[in-house]
Structure 1
Amino acid sequence: MTQRTVLIAGGAGGMGLATALRFAADGARVILADLPGPKLRDAAARVAGTGAAVLDLPLDIRSVDACRETVARAADWAGGLDVLVNAAGVWLEGPADAVSEPDWDRVLDVNLKGAFFLISAAIPFLAAARGVIINIASDAGLVGNSGAAVYCASKGGLVLLSKALALELAPRGIRVNAVCPGDVATPMIEHQAATYGGDDPDGYKRRLLGHYPQGDQARFIQAEEIAGFIHYLCQPGAAPITGAALPIDFGVTAGY
């Protein structure tokens, strides 16, 4: 990956930042796109601390114009793009009859619409580089989760978007895959537990782990484990892998 350029949307978040650090360790140029603020600046500083070239770009992924501008600025800074990783995401749970239109729009805009328009803008640059697109979907994009219909819709859409684009873009030398993690130990899962766990956020997390086949040995996936897999999928040795939806979930979806 030396001197290849990687654009990571959601690059200041748990999986996004872990992915950035993994690519930076190989000497890649890294562009972090995320909401403006200290979190983005701190993430960029961590990547810069590895010695890698890094650019941080403020991005509201819900805006199509912002997605297009981010890709243009990234490609201008680096002279092109080799890899696009869509790592931005938000979680929503609760009964379907309580979902508001703004709830629906926020989840679909962040998890699906923004990813599509970043990809759309990046296609010419990725075609020139015979590049790779990785969309971080979810195990909830492969199987239904009761009480999370909107999130499942967004991630299921991202999975099929990845498959459709893999077919469309293969003649242009671009590979597209969806990585589908289970529960990952990131600030997002802590936010989930605090938001939806009532007075017992630790109990909320125990209930999540109760779905894992490992029983008492169950644990959350580490962001670095996701990052390592994404890094592998972008290597020349992974050339045959495109159009895949690849679960990393300790086997949670294996029995469906």
Structure 2
Amino acid sequence: MQAVVLISGVLGGIGQAVAEQFVRGGWQVFGIDRDGAALAARQAGGQLAGYHAADLRQVGTTQDVVAAALATLGRLDALVNCAGVWREGPAETFSEEDFDLVLDVNLKASFFLCAAAIPALRDTRGAIVNLSSDAGRQGNRNAAVYCASKGAVTLMTKALALDLAPSGVRCNSISPGDVATPMLSFQAERYGNGDPAGYLQDLLAKYPQGESATFIQPEEVAELAFFLCQPAARSITGADLAIDRGISAGH
């Protein structure tokens, strides 16, 4: 029987790359995102074995998603939480609406999707991979709320790893730097003060490679997520693995 992975944010840049990596590895992918038509198209194209269109900010929805995956594919061997949003700005002007959005999507949805998936993952001695960020390892200017959400994801993952170790379920996080995805383009367009190219260049300037720095590719993150769900990674749990061109190495 083929192994099954549940991926949240499967239509995003990292989520799509993760899904493609698991398909290449012979897994069945059950995808979660908000756009039902796009999910249906991905299934028709053979990229998804099943899907559920959902806004994961409601606890009951996370339970419905896991139930749908089990009803469709019969088992669950891994969960990869890729859904995430970015908002930035100084604390004194940061809105409650954006605060709630960032915490609800980045942290609350990840936690309750993990919680809903744990019983099925215990049955298969499966794995959880949560997407955190270099911003969960170090402070970033104008990103206090995003940093808080991702720092919480990292420590949540470590705590879950301890809780789940006796039942053979492994739990790790990946902390990428800036990844070349639509979310990064959104950042540049929304917060670049009319100069998105300059915004992106400022991001690259912070990397230790200097002028040769380039953005991380989604496929790099996907390969690591896939590896963490394999038997070869059976001794890795409670880890937060950086894939950030060394940007967090000095912190």
CA distance in 2, matches of 1:36, 1:208: 30
Residue in structure 1 matched with residue 174 of structure 2 by the alignment:
179
| Equivalent residue in structure 2 for 1:115, among 110, 114, 130 | 110
What is the TM-score with the length of structure 2 in the denominator? 0.97
Partner Cα separation in structure 2 for residue 177 and residue 26 of structure 1: 20
Secondary structure of the structure 1 residue equivalent to 2:51: strand
Q: Distance in 1 between matches of 2:149 and 2:91?
A: 14
Structure 2 CA distance for partners of 1:159 and 1:176, relative to 1, 3 Å: same
Take 2:162 and 2:218, find their aligned partners in 1: how far apart are those partners? 29
Match of 1:234 in 2: 229
**Gaps in structure 1 of 5+ consecutive residues:** none
In the TM superposition, residue 80 of structure 1 has moved relative to its aligned partner by: 1.3
Deviations along 1:196-234, one digit per CA (max 9) or x if unpaired, are: 002110000000000001111100000011001111111
Q: Who is 2:73 aligned against?
A: 78
CA contact (8 A) 1:85 1:133 kept: yes
CA–CA separation in structure 1 for the residues paired with 2:44 and 2:220: 22
**Equivalent residue number for residue 198 of structure 2:** 203
Q: Which one of the candidate residues 58, 61, 75 is aligned to 2:56?
A: 61
Partner letter of residue 24 of structure 1? Answer: V
Indicate whether 1:125 and 2:124 are aligned. Answer: no
Paired AA for residue 23 in structure 1: F
Structure 1 distance, partners of 2:60, 2:238, is: 27
- Of 230, 240, 248, which residue of structure 2 is paired with 1:245? 240
TM-score by length of 1: 0.95
Alpha carbon RMSD of aligned pairs, Å? 1.2
Partner Cα distance (1:44, 1:214) in 2: 39
Deviation (angstroms), 1:38: 3.9
1:165-209 Cα offsets, whole Å, 9 max, x none, are 000000011000010000000111001000000211000000000
1:10 matched to 2:5 = no
How far apart in 2 are the matches of 1:44 and 1:154? 31
The unaligned stretches of length 5 or more in structure 2 are: none
1:88-237 to 2 correspondences below 5 Å:
88-237=83-232
State the alpha-carbon separation in 2 of the partners of residues 208 and 100 from structure 1.
24
CA distance in 2: counterparts of 1:35 and 1:141, whole angstroms: 25
Give me the whole-angstrom Cα distance separating, in 2, the residues matched to 1:117 and 1:6.
17
The Cα shift of 1:40 comes to 2.9
Residues 140-180 of structure 1: per-residue CA shift (max 9 Å, x gap): 00111111000001000000000000000000110000100
Correspondence 1:31 to 2:34: no
Match of 1:41 in 2: 40
Per-residue CA shift, 1:30-54, capped at 9, x if unaligned? 00100024443344345x15xxx61
Deviates more, 1:130-139 or 1:25-34: 25-34
Aligned partners of 2:12 and 2:29: how far apart in 1? 14
Contact 1:17 1:43 in 2 (8 A): no
Q: For residue 249 of structure 2, give the secondary structure of its aligned residue in structure 1.
A: coil
Distance in 1 between residues matched to 2:2 and 2:108, nearest whole Å: 29
SS in 2 for 1:177: strand
Q: What is the CA–CA distance in structure 2 between the aligned matches of 1:171 and 1:156, rounded to whole Å?
A: 25
